[in-house]
Each structure stands twice: as structure tokens, then as C-alpha cells.
Structure 1
Amino acid sequence: MPTLSEKKYDIVIAGGGVIGAACAYFLSKEKNLNIALVDLKKPGNASRASAGGLWAIGESVGLGCGVIFFKRISMQRAEAEGDDLPPLRPHILPDCFFEFALKSNNMYPALWQELKDKHDVDFKFEKTGLKYIMYDKYDKLYADSIVEQIPDLADQISWLSAEELAKDEPYINADAIGALEFKCDHQVNPYRLNEAYLEAARQNGVELFLQTEVTDIEKQGNRITGVNTSSGTLHCDMLINAAGSWAAELSKMACGVEIPVYPVKGQIILSEKLPKVLKGCISTTDCYIAQKDNGEVLIGSTTEEKGFDTTNTLPELKELANGAMRCLPILNDMNIKRCWSGLRPGTPDELPILGEMEGVEGYLNACGHFRTGILTSAITGKLINDLYRGLPLDLDITPFKHARFDEQNKKQA
């Protein structure tokens, strides 16, 4: 790690998770900037708790941990009101997020090749697809509703009958009545993706200040001029807030405003290494399941607003394990390697917060990516680079700016 000095940086990136690392990589591809990245690994770092799913459509339509969360909410309401469980309805994100997620997803094949060829790092991009497994007519109604709401993506969707599913995924429960498959939703190794971005950025000249805490922000008037850390001060012209679930703390120091980013806990189970039992990634109303390239099976994930708590709790882990064993009976004989919790950086509307803050110069947000940071890191890194350099953007980031919350507050007043 470099020692601190009076060196002036063009950019300081606060946060070394997948978003901060992606920003560092894309900004450093043209080697004409002095860039520093500051990171202190805290319990619950989201990038190291991810399944690594590039589920552009799946997450946009509320699968993954989304459908698990809304099923639990529906069950709690039904229990409180003494009613039967109401039919689930897909939680569809806005069109702007579909564009954001799909553009990022499309970048991964070339990005994977680029990082291997130029930097000798491999984040294990795998073309797996994502299957939503249906057990009954209610699951089928849920899938029907998804398809009805995304007609423009019909070419990326396939229906699998029970027979076709059994042939494609022979270890899936024989009681399944079929599946809805999203053909462009693949996976990576999330740890390797984070490290690949960081290593490539380091090779490009980015100075990495790891195990270093941001303690305060220096300003002259309304302009950011430096970042105080546990090891000294990094002078800079631009601060990028990629602090994940801790982004609100940083924005308070830099802007005097706490942006609405808060931790959303997700508990995960990881199995021992197993023979190949899955061809693709799996989502059900109970859990999602992804077998990684080394044979380990990852089962997730809860969605809990419990502050910065990262403890594991038996009821939630049992719920995930039972859901996984229902889907893949072969997992009844597996051994659990470890369990952990991650803190996703949530926002009130589940959209990231990107770009400038009104009234503050030398500051950009790159945070609030909730459960899609791995998926959307590529487009975020490119957008932040292009925004900093004044280049045309690949998409309109207005829906993702912090100012949207001011507009919402005005409408509610």
C-alpha cells in the first residue's frame, strides 16, 4: 500500500466494493488521471456476500430475493388478518432500470475477455441462464404476469414444460410443473469480479489505500478539496461516493445531507463442493440457488431491514435450506460449509443513486445499488467515467440522481 504524502489526486474513490472498484477501473483505462481508492472492509460488505448473479431480467421483475421478500410480506399480512395467502404479484422495476440492467449485462462478455487479455484476471463469467421454477398454479400465474409486463423481451424468455425441465435440470424436484427461463441472465464469481476490477485498476496506476478509513471531508466553500483518512489526508478535485451501505455517512460529511441509502440484510448458505447438480441458476418463491464454478452451491437470500446487524439467525437459515431442499432434493445430503450475512445498500425506490449533488462541487454518487451491484457495476463504472470526462452518456441518468427524492418530497407536501 502506498504511503500518504502531499500528492494531489484528480479523484478519490471512497469504497472498494464492486462499484468503487469498477469506477476505479473505468476511470483508469485512459491513464491520464491520478486516482486513489480508499477502502476499509467492514462486516457485511455486500460485494463479498453476493451470489454473483447477472440476472438483468430476473432482478428487474422481482425474482431472486425479491420474490422471497414479497412472499414473506404476503404471508405476514395474511397471518395478521386471518386470511388465506393472497396470490403474489410481480414486483416490476421501472423501465429505466431495465435499460440500466440490460446495458450492463451486455457489457460482460467483452469485459471478461478484456480483463483476461489485458490484465490476466478472470472473474469466471458463465452463461447459465436463470430459471424460475413453478410448483403449482399460483407460481404459473406469477410467471404469466411477469411475461405479460415485458412483451419487448419475449425473445429472451422460454417456457419449459415439466418434461423439458426434467431433461435440462434432472436434479430438480420431479413435482415441478415447469419453469420460466431468462436466457440472458448469467453469473460470475463475485469475489473474483471485485478483485479483477481492483487489480486491473492497480495495474493502470490507481493507488489503493486498503484497510484505511475515511474520517472526514475537507472543503473550501462548497467544493470538495480532500479526504481525511485514518492514515492522513488525500487532496483531490473529485470525491466519488461508492461506500455501499455506509454511503449516507459519507454524504453527510461531504454534502451535509444524508442520502437515503440504508443496509438491507441478506443471509446466505454455502454448501461444500458438490458434483455438477445445476446447469443454470435457479429462483423459486423460497430461495435462489446458484452452483459456482468450483462446485459449491450458494443458497440465498433473505431481505431484512435490521440496521447493520450481520448475525445469522436459525429460523431464516432453516427457511432457505428447506426451500433449497424442496427444489433440489439431492441437497438433503449436503454439508453446509458456512453461512453469512451481507448488507445490501438499499434505497426507498430500489434504484441506485448516481451523479452530482446540488450545491456541492467535486462530488459524485455511485451508490445505492441494493441487490444488483454485481450486475450493474460495469455500466456504473462506464457512466461515472463518462460523466466525469463530460462525454455523452449511454443512458439518461436523471431517474437515478439524488434530486428525484426532492421532487418526490415536493409532490407529497
Structure 2
Amino acid sequence: MRKHYDVIIVGGGVIGSSIAYFLRRHTPYTVLVLERNKIGSEASSAAAGMLGAQAEIHEAGPFYEMARQSRQLFSGLGQELKEISGVDMEWVDKGLLKTAKDGCEAERLKDLAAFHRANGEPAEWMDAEELREKEPNASTELAGALFLPKDGQVNAPKLTQAYAQAAVKLGADFMEYTEAANFEFAQMGTGVQTSAGTFYGEKLVLASGVWTGRLAAQTGLHMPVFPVKGECLSLNFMEPVITSSIISEDCYLVPKQGGRLVIGATMRSGTYDRKVTAEAVGQLLEGAIRVVPGIRDGEWEKAWSGFRPQTPDGLPYMGKHPRHPNIYFAAGHFRNGILLSPITGQWMTELICGRKEEQSLVEFAPDRFVLEQMKG
């Protein structure tokens, strides 16, 4: 196997795999992806796959613009990836509902609808009757819901698989169970020391999710990333119990193919404990049944957990290392890694190729917390 590449990507989740795909799709660069586990086995496989550009982001600014641009890319991406990889990411474009349990929540969601409409995005308030016309199994106790017709969903594990397999078909190399242990800076490029030997890249991209902060520290950069554990479960139904993804104050419900329903997710900061607790399962089921009572008839499938990569300000890191200009970062996407994967792959490819100015990503700069550390 070759030891020198134009670009080495450390991290084979949805972000790293997307970057590999876009690099091979749009450049002649040779690409190697190093993954410490199995491709897409961490947060990328745990995600429910919602594309909540409007459901998740409630403030105007660069992050809101990024999310909306990324959501738009999915309309053509699914067919493109399927043609190359043979994998269907199961894109569903039926909108998303944010439910209100009382008048107070209803007013807040009506304000959110006004915000989105003021920014040129569709958002419709549905009263209780209109909600049950759309979703007949919704609880009669709900006050209504905000309908966001552009927010869809995908099958998150299949999206990651599609990126990775398409990248391989286009010539990228992937190595699983190969952890980046250390880095060396040599004339022939940046060396990545692994159990399989040292690989050299003209450019290095660190995209290892919640573990990226540790890797950044090995390059001398303070770039805090911390885990937010999410526990989820899934049920099976003979017939789909809902057709739209639903978010309430207590949980989210995402219908999948074949009558499967994903219910999530808890938020537990600062832990790497993978276990799913009985308490978490109970809370999720209780919250889901309050929204859709018929969920109590679902057949248990499984439960799992994952670690979302969070940053202090909630914005991802994208850009160059301040002292090593051939090292790049793409991490910290928190709950929006699936949604932001295509725009991250596109922008990082443009940045690596010199077609995108670093200043255009200043809000996401990897060194934005360095001064704070010095003051501390």
C-alpha cells in the first residue's frame, strides 16, 4: 500500500467520508481516510438523520445560512451518491413538525414561524385540528405544531456508507481500525503515525468528531470539543404510526422505512459512558407517548447511544491550523453533522484546493478559543 498521499483524513464518520467523496469527485488529489474503528460507527451511526436546518437553528447568521445551503444540496446528492455507490440514503422530503403542549409553547413556535418567514423560509403554524388532520395519531392534548416543509430526513448510517463507498469507487483509500497515534512534521509532508505504519500527506484533515480536540492538542492547538451523550431507541410497527418527523420538548420521533420508528434523544454532557440506562429509555418512551399515544403499541427493536461533538459556542470548526497551514479541521458539528455533511465536504474541498478564502469561514475558525485559553 502506498505511504504518501495528497490528502490524509483522520476520521471516517459522515464528515470525514463526505470530505473524501467531494475531494475525489472534484479534484485529482489522492486521498486516504484513517478510521480508529469501523467506518461510520460512532455519532454518524447513532444519529436519527433529521435535516433540521430550521428546526435546530433559530438565529440569523452564518450558521443559519450554512445549514440552509447544506439542506438544499440533499435534493441532488441522493441520486448522485446512489449512482456511484449503489447505496440509497433514503432521503425523505415530507417536512418536520415541532409540537406545542400548551399555549405558551404555541406562542413561542408562532414567533419562530415568523422568524423563518422573515428570512424567506416556509413555516406554517397548525392548530390542534390541523395537526391531527396531518398526523391522525397525534395526541388530542397537543395545542398544535409548527410545520417546516423543507426540513427532511435521511438514513444516517446509509448516508455515511454512501459517501464512503462512492469515495472508494472514485479512488480513495480507507483504512479501518487504524488509529492516528501521533504526528510528525517532515519535509515529505505531515506524517500520521499509526499501528499500520506512518503515512505522509501533503495536507492533513482532522475530522474525528468528539476526539478531534485531543488530536488538535497534539499539534499544539487548543480547540475544545466535548462529548454530549445521546441515548436513542427504536420500535417497529405493522403500519407507520406517523409520516412526518416530530420534535417535542421531550423527544423526537423519526419514521423510517418498513414501519420502523426512531425515538431520541437524551443529552448528557461530559461523559464517554456508552451504556443506555433504564431511566433514559423510560423518559424517551413517556415523552413519545405523550405526543403519539399509539406508540405504546410498538414492538421493541433496540437501544443505543452516541457522542455528539460539542464546542463551547455551538459552532463547528472548519479551517486551517494557525501555525501549520497544511493541517485542516472539520469537527464539532454537534447535533447537525448529518445535515451539514454535504456543505462541509464541499467547503473543505474548496478550501484545500485554494478556491475558498479562509476568511469566509472566520466564524468557524479552529483557533477562535486560543486567546480565551491564554487569558485563562
TM over 0.5: yes
1:230 pairs with 2:195: yes
Match for 2:72: what amino acid? N
Structure 1 match to 2:264: 300
Structure 1 match to 2:245: 281
1:8 to 4, 10, 15: 4
Offset at residue 409 of structure 1 (A): 5.8
For residues 165 and 394 of structure 1, do their structure 2 counterparts lie closer, same or farther at Cα, with a shift above 3 Å needed?
A: farther
The answer on whether the counterparts of 1:383 and 1:393 sit within 8 Å (CA) in structure 2 is no
* Counterpart secondary structure, 1:196: helix
Structure 2 match to 1:323: 287
Structure 1 match to 2:34: 38
* Counterpart secondary structure, 2:368: helix
- Give CA-to-partner distance per residue, 1:166-185, whole Å, 9 cap, x none: 11100111122211011110
1:111 to 63, 77, 81: 77
Structure 2 match to 1:312: 276
TM-score scaled by length of structure 2:
0.94
- Aligned pairs for 1:360-375 (under 5 A) are 360-375=324-339
Unaligned runs of 5+ in 1: 62-91
Offset at residue 340 of structure 1 (A): 1.0
1:134 pairs with 2:90: no
Rounded Cα–Cα distance in structure 1 between residues aligned with 2:263 and 2:44: 16
Rounded Cα–Cα distance in structure 2 between residues aligned with 1:165 and 1:44: 36
Rounded Cα–Cα distance in structure 2 between residues aligned with 1:147 and 1:9: 48
Structure 2 match to 1:164: 130
* Counterpart secondary structure, 2:87: coil
Structure 1 match to 2:112: 146
* Counterpart secondary structure, 1:41: coil
Offset at residue 25 of structure 1 (A): 0.2
- Aligned pairs for 1:254-269 (under 5 A) are 255-269=219-233
RMSD: 2.1
Structure 2 match to 1:239: 204
- Aligned pairs for 1:203-222 (under 5 A) are 203-220=169-186
The answer on whether the counterparts of 2:189 and 2:200 sit within 8 Å (CA) in structure 1 is no
For residues 151 and 393 of structure 1, do their structure 2 counterparts lie closer, same or farther at Cα, with a shift above 3 Å needed?
A: farther
Rounded Cα–Cα distance in structure 1 between residues aligned with 2:189 and 2:99: 50
Match for 2:111: what amino acid? S
For residues 395 and 225 of structure 1, do their structure 2 counterparts lie closer, same or farther at Cα, with a shift above 3 Å needed?
A: closer
2:312 to 348, 365, 381: 348
For residues 259 and 155 of structure 1, do their structure 2 counterparts lie closer, same or farther at Cα, with a shift above 3 Å needed?
A: closer
- Give CA-to-partner distance per residue, 1:57-104, whole Å, 9 cap, x none: 11113xxxxxxxxxxxxxxxxxxxxxxxxxxxxxx4x51110010000
For residues 139 and 151 of structure 1, do their structure 2 counterparts lie closer, same or farther at Cα, with a shift above 3 Å needed?
A: same
The answer on whether the counterparts of 1:225 and 1:238 sit within 8 Å (CA) in structure 2 is yes
Unaligned runs of 5+ in 2: none
* Counterpart secondary structure, 1:285: coil
For residues 195 and 273 of structure 1, do their structure 2 counterparts lie closer, same or farther at Cα, with a shift above 3 Å needed?
A: farther
2:44 to 43, 47, 64: 47
* Counterpart secondary structure, 1:141: helix
Structure 2 match to 1:185: 151
Rounded Cα–Cα distance in structure 1 between residues aligned with 2:183 and 2:238: 48
More divergent stretch after superposition (369-378 vs 94-103) = 94-103
Structure 2 match to 1:405: 369
For residues 187 and 386 of structure 1, do their structure 2 counterparts lie closer, same or farther at Cα, with a shift above 3 Å needed?
A: same
Rounded Cα–Cα distance in structure 1 between residues aligned with 2:358 and 2:220: 30
1:250 to 193, 197, 215: 215
Match for 1:378: what amino acid? P
Rounded Cα–Cα distance in structure 2 between residues aligned with 1:234 and 1:385: 20
Rounded Cα–Cα distance in structure 1 between residues aligned with 2:248 and 2:119: 21
The answer on whether the counterparts of 1:227 and 1:234 sit within 8 Å (CA) in structure 2 is yes
More divergent stretch after superposition (394-403 vs 230-239) = 394-403
- Give CA-to-partner distance per residue, 1:268-295, whole Å, 9 cap, x none: 0111244112121001111010011232
Match for 2:204: what amino acid? L
For residues 338 and 249 of structure 1, do their structure 2 counterparts lie closer, same or farther at Cα, with a shift above 3 Å needed?
A: same
- Give CA-to-partner distance per residue, 1:137-187, whole Å, 9 cap, x none: 121122133234444335410111212111110011112221101111000
Q: How many residues align?
A: 375
1:271 pairs with 2:226: no
1:121 to 77, 80, 87: 87
1:56 pairs with 2:41: no
Match for 1:47: what amino acid? S
